[in-house]
Structure 1
């Protein structure tokens, strides 16, 4: 039996990994392990939507889902939306931030507006699945940025933070990345094609 070990992962990652395993053509039986209630509820909701037979057991603070194919798997096409209390992370929504300042005009004001914008992302109920930083926007995810705390919180809540590797190299910041991971243009284009994209 294939084991999908999601210990230590925050929602929506356990749902995404479970979805991938269930939609595998070779799927017959899997065990999914999660360690928090938000992931438990959202994995349960996904398995029900996908018409998968399962039972769940709690052992030593871990939740074990034993899922078995019982007929035709119902493909869940809508974006994975992970509910965490009153918070949801929409995997079908991507933000692209291409500057370390928001708007044009005064740079000091632009920096203040960007700081306020990033903070607001942590406060809204429905958060984007991914935020991609391009060009001078990568300065926001690296050492010295004054929005690092907000970005770390956003990442903890389930939003994927990606910074353009070419941009980090250009500004000499690749070794100073603090939040998220490095990505490339191919992945960025894939994200833009697959999700609703909002450019900042």
Structure 2
């Protein structure tokens, strides 16, 4: 028998709960098709399949993901299983790019400029919509180096989904070594990110 669970638009743990209800009453050999639109749900449903002895196949679709689970175990084993559910909060991404060209913010006293840029990066972590992309080039490349005072805040932004890119030419020019956060990029990618961004913020 085939069952369908339409969990489109549902955030965790709802897709798992909906699927578990169907699974608890399914027979061995039954197939369950689940429709979801976020990767967190896919990961949690994979854990559910593993804990209940079901096969698991996920396919990307135009609208999200289509998952196929086939029941392999008996009802008692499935009802006693407690899948691990990991709900990563969805953080909306701002439709803007931050371009940082210096390890100081504004003109004037260099010490004050360093304090201001650190405060600016921290402030980005507190926004409801963090930037989609942050670009670091010229003197800004120093902010992603291992001795930068901004590293922890930049790691927080990266965990929130912000893509952090540092100019490789700048890293080499200043002898900074591998960035402590994000990845090294080239000028073509920087130009592409800047020209495709809806808004560019230059602190």
Counterpart in the other structure of 1:148 = 151
Counterpart in the other structure of 1:170 = 173
Match of 2:192 among 180, 190, 193: 190
Q: Quick one: structure 1 residues 61 and 122, their matched pair in 2 at CA, closer, same or farther if it must change by over 3 Å?
A: farther
Gaps of 5+ in 1: 1-30, 41-55, 71-83
Counterpart in the other structure of 2:77 = none
Match of 1:36 among 34, 37, 40: 40
Q: What secondary structure is seen at the aligned counterpart in 2 of 1:94?
A: strand
Q: In angstroms, what is the RMSD of aligned CA positions? A: 3.1
Could you say which structure has the higher strand fraction?
1
CA distance, structure 2, for counterparts of residue 134 and residue 141 of structure 1: 10
Q: CA deviation at 1:34?
A: 6.7
- Aligned residues of 1:162 and 1:183 also touching (Cα < 8 A): yes
- Aligned residues of 1:100 and 1:114 also touching (Cα < 8 A): yes
- Aligned residues of 2:91 and 2:161 also touching (Cα < 8 A): no
- Aligned residues of 2:100 and 2:134 also touching (Cα < 8 A): yes
CA distance, structure 2, for counterparts of residue 99 and residue 109 of structure 1: 13
Q: CA deviation at 1:59?
A: 3.2
Matches within 5 A, 1:86-165: 87-90=91-94, 92-165=95-168
Deviations 1:7-42 (A, max 9, x none): xxxxxxxxxxxxxxxxxxxxxxxx9997635xx6xx
Query: What is the TM-score with the length of structure 1 in the denominator?
Result: 0.60
- Aligned residues of 1:164 and 1:185 also touching (Cα < 8 A): yes
Match of 2:46 among 35, 47, 59: 59
- Aligned residues of 2:104 and 2:114 also touching (Cα < 8 A): yes
CA distance, structure 2, for counterparts of residue 68 and residue 126 of structure 1: 27
CA distance, structure 1, for counterparts of residue 158 and residue 142 of structure 2: 17
- Aligned residues of 2:97 and 2:200 also touching (Cα < 8 A): yes
How many pairs were matched up?
138
Query: What is the TM-score with the length of structure 2 in the denominator?
Result: 0.59
